Structure 1
């Protein structure tokens, strides 16, 4: 009876945590001697009490771990806390955690505690490979007391080498799951063949569940913080862009043009800015544009990114460390805004914004602008579009007015009426000063650009109009040949329709009428095309004998002098007979021998004279076209000066 009371007393003390385990075992063993069944029951009670005490301890540890995890806001800190506490709670040599990589379809080592092998710390586990890969694939716990010889797992050289280098023998792994979302695997391992009990597996599973929840929550908190930061940044960007918009609006209200907007944007960003019109011609600039920048490629890049789906253009990076954005108003592209050289920007190597080395400005890749800077650029493009639109409409109205004025002058037969002269004066044309008239033929798609180019030649004193499929230009001056050459353009091999052919006439006084000059210029341009001289410029006086037929006032004397002048002058100065020899030569069918007979001289004398003539007229004087001109000049010379030899 005493033994039973001692046992009950010890069990009560054991429940309170006061009785040593060896005292309880000694009393239970004594009781077993007299009553084996009572002794066995006593040991069962003790075992149950020890298990309950252990579960209480583990639960307290889990609560403490949850408190530690809740205090961590960084994902890396959470992961290292998990493996450190797992190793301590299970009393293992090593604890480690792998995370799931959805893109690669495997898990990778993310945190370790007790590990010494670098290869083990950087290990990746394909799904289904090794114990960890099987846990990840099946999403159920697995454990083994001796991994190296366990045939249940698909061994790979990489995994076995890393495990062997770490010296791991026994492994237990359990999945990290949150609402069926697989996060990773938590492991506990020993460097000796110690088997894991079901209680160990359950404890590691509880810790894994707690860790998975904490990990997902930490990620979500990080995502939320990032979103809030992005929203704050977006708000700041909007405010900064609004300030920039106000600055651009102030420039416009003060009467500024696109050049002033480019300067305002360049000063805001600290870089260079160029505004190009719809033809790619610079319309405004701030700072030096890099010499090696491929502007044509940048314009194509802007055309590939017309907007963000709402009709608003967006800024996009391009080669050369630059950004480009289309300037659009009313669905019409009016130009392009190009910029770069922003301090502090980085230049990745590609042209598509791909990651690269950082810390350069103006390198081979696109500069990186902040959201606020991008919004500022887009606001600048919007304001630039409005300025260009207003300017375009004003220019269009002025162009139409000037074209109507020129059409009115050209429509007059003879001297224009006083109202027409008054209108010309208002347009800046001095009707009583010499002018030239150009008729330009080009491909229909290029007439508009040609008209704009021609308008720049005469400034406010010139008039341009499209008439009968041609661009007609009135310019102040007295040299039609030089004026026409400024607009003529030959075809290019890659663009056979690029030629511009110009017929010129003048000088004349607009006050005397322009109808005769218009007719002559038209005949000249048609003659150039008929003579297969597209892309050239010529007045009637430049077309040789064809000009004599086309011009209203053919200059026969000037034509003869232009062809034969050097020979006539030589004869007059030296007393030679070169002109007579030339006539005899052609009269003899270009035969020096027969010409010598006609002239009563030796054939060598004729040969010497012809050589001198070639020196005076040029080496091509016997070319069929030039020879025809020379023979015609000889006939006209004889008609104008009979009896001269």
Structure 2
């Protein structure tokens, strides 16, 4: 095979320049001097021409292969733009391929922060230091900042020595840390606006041929497309999300409106069928979910489980009364007020984990309005019933003789039970109307009678007098109450009224407000009122000395005698001990026990006088 054919074969096989030169060198010794017909091979001139031609063909093939690689990389990048939705992944691939094709030591991409007037590193490939990856350059500073500001490509064979660029110490320090020398930078453009820059660097001094500038510009164009596609994709995704959110909001609003309409129908039906606050609470719990409690204006439970009320419920009630809207408490409960004008009738407390948008809050407020109407209807009925019950009680309080059979029939028609042991309680209240509602309600609960008579609240019901009085006192927020036992359901009510009313008067005059008392607990004051016989005297002694008398009788002690001697000795322990023939410490111990039996304060004031008088009366009764 001649040398020409061998060179062609080598070029087709992609041989290197060194291999090509070796083939030509082997052919050179056989070459003739002039290349004439008698020569053994090609002349030196022919070989020189063949070498130059082969080198040109080889360089063209290399350029072709390089171009093919570039086009392939650009094609793959373009394909990635349609296949990858992750912007960071796309940019990283662009930077990595640019570095590979340009044979650069490092490539990086920056994005402009227009409000801050700077360009910051977004993606790097081949960086050595973390400081460089976080670098942020003011626009116009350094090569990157100049490209990002001007929108034109720039390159330098040796950045550190190039005075065309504005150098900053911290930037040069970062560049030195990366050992950067040659830099090529091209802009990222979207619709004529510079949004960043793409750069390739070498850690040695070298020029950048035009084909490398063109190639990096192509990659920058793809990066810009990726950024724009990502922006459009994000905008489309946000639009879809907004549409989905709007649809969900519309569906939720429709569902809330349907629930509100359903609640309105249920509440209206409850009102039309004269349902109570319990039915209103059940409807509200069903519609809004959670637990509902209803309290009256005094804080007593009318419906619901009656768990602990929110700590700040009073503040919430005040705010709700002022605004006419429901209010949320600190523990997450919702408060709505049932009111008639400015009058607070009741409070609704809703505890729920469900949504409480505007429709739900309006449903709660509508339930509060229905509750107010139910309470007003109930009040009207109670007042009408109270008038009927009150008429019967007023008749019993009078002096006119009544037919027992007729009285019991009237009581039965009103749901009152006058059989068994009855008690009468009398009290006063600042608001006669409010007090009348309390008395009427308690009378209805206890199957008794209640009325306002001569400015006093009167309650007649079965049970222990003091127990009845304490219950009435609690309903009236600590009122003073006089009570008496009713001996006869018809003829004895008037005398019990007289005794309970007189007891109430004495309590006020003695300053014992806020107490519940019957005549027996008035002590000496009762004896001074007159109309007392042996039975009342015995009750006075029992009230003042009963615990001591029983203790002495059961244990054969001398507590009553000790107290009597101590009083006679003017409170002197020594004198009392001499008369009792015991040690003074014994007297002290006995008096301490007396205090535990009679209670604190028996040696002071009116209690002391009552105990002394009771001792003397007891001694006189023993002599009779």
SS of the residue aligned with 1:461?
Answer: coil
Aligned equivalents of 2:318 and 2:119: distance in 1?
A: 40
Q: TM-score scaled by structure 2?
A: 0.58
Of 88, 107, 115, the match for 1:94: 107
Q: Which residue of 1 aligns with 2:3?
A: none
Q: TM-score scaled by structure 1?
A: 0.57
Aligned equivalents of 1:191 and 1:423: distance in 2?
A: 111
Deviations 1:474-519 (A, max 9, x none): 25224222223346579xxxxxxx9714323122367558676566
Q: Which residue of 2 aligns with 1:483?
A: 468
Contact 1:274 1:337 in 2 (8 A): yes
1:98 CA displacement:
4.4
Q: Which residue of 2 aligns with 1:339?
A: 351
- From the superposition, tell whether residues 195 and 514 of structure 1 become closer, same or farther in structure 2 (CA, over 3 Å): farther
Deviations 1:118-154 (A, max 9, x none): 9579848597797799789989889675777887365
Q: Which residue of 1 aligns with 2:581?
A: 604
1:233 CA displacement:
1.1
Contact 2:325 2:336 in 1 (8 A): no
1:544 CA displacement:
1.9
Q: Which residue of 2 aligns with 1:44?
A: none
Q: Which residue of 2 aligns with 1:187?
A: 197
1:454 CA displacement:
9.3
Q: Which residue of 2 aligns with 1:540?
A: 519
Deviations 1:338-358 (A, max 9, x none): 335x6xxxxxxxxxxxxxxxx
Aligned equivalents of 1:175 and 1:306: distance in 2?
A: 60
Structure 2, unaligned runs of 5 or more:
1-66
Q: Which residue of 1 aligns with 2:367?
A: 384
Q: Are 2:485 and 1:507 aligned?
A: yes
Q: Are 2:329 and 1:324 aligned?
A: no
Aligned equivalents of 2:425 and 2:90: distance in 1?
A: 87
Structure 1, unaligned runs of 5 or more:
1-53, 343-368, 491-497
Aligned equivalents of 1:634 and 1:312: distance in 2?
A: 65
Contact 2:140 2:149 in 1 (8 A): no
Aligned residues: 522
Aligned equivalents of 1:429 and 1:401: distance in 2?
A: 15
1:429 CA displacement:
2.9
RMSD, aligned α-carbons: 6.4
- From the superposition, tell whether residues 427 and 178 of structure 1 become closer, same or farther in structure 2 (CA, over 3 Å): farther
Deviations 1:568-600 (A, max 9, x none): 67999999998788667645645688889xxxx
Deviations 1:538-572 (A, max 9, x none): 22322322344569878232112333456667999
Larger radius of gyration: 2
Q: Which residue of 2 aligns with 1:296?
A: 310
- From the superposition, tell whether residues 302 and 404 of structure 1 become closer, same or farther in structure 2 (CA, over 3 Å): same
- From the superposition, tell whether residues 100 and 451 of structure 1 become closer, same or farther in structure 2 (CA, over 3 Å): farther
Deviations 1:179-204 (A, max 9, x none): 99xxx943312232789999999989
Of 601, 612, 624, the match for 1:631: 612
Q: Which residue of 2 aligns with 1:461?
A: 447
Q: Which residue of 1 aligns with 2:49?
A: none
1:629 CA displacement:
0.8
- From the superposition, tell whether residues 385 and 431 of structure 1 become closer, same or farther in structure 2 (CA, over 3 Å): same
1:275 CA displacement:
2.5
- From the superposition, tell whether residues 233 and 400 of structure 1 become closer, same or farther in structure 2 (CA, over 3 Å): same
Q: Which residue of 2 aligns with 1:152?
A: 166
- From the superposition, tell whether residues 528 and 115 of structure 1 become closer, same or farther in structure 2 (CA, over 3 Å): farther
Deviations 1:315-363 (A, max 9, x none): x6965xxx432335678885344335x6xxxxxxxxxxxxxxxxxxxxx
SS of the residue aligned with 1:296?
Answer: coil
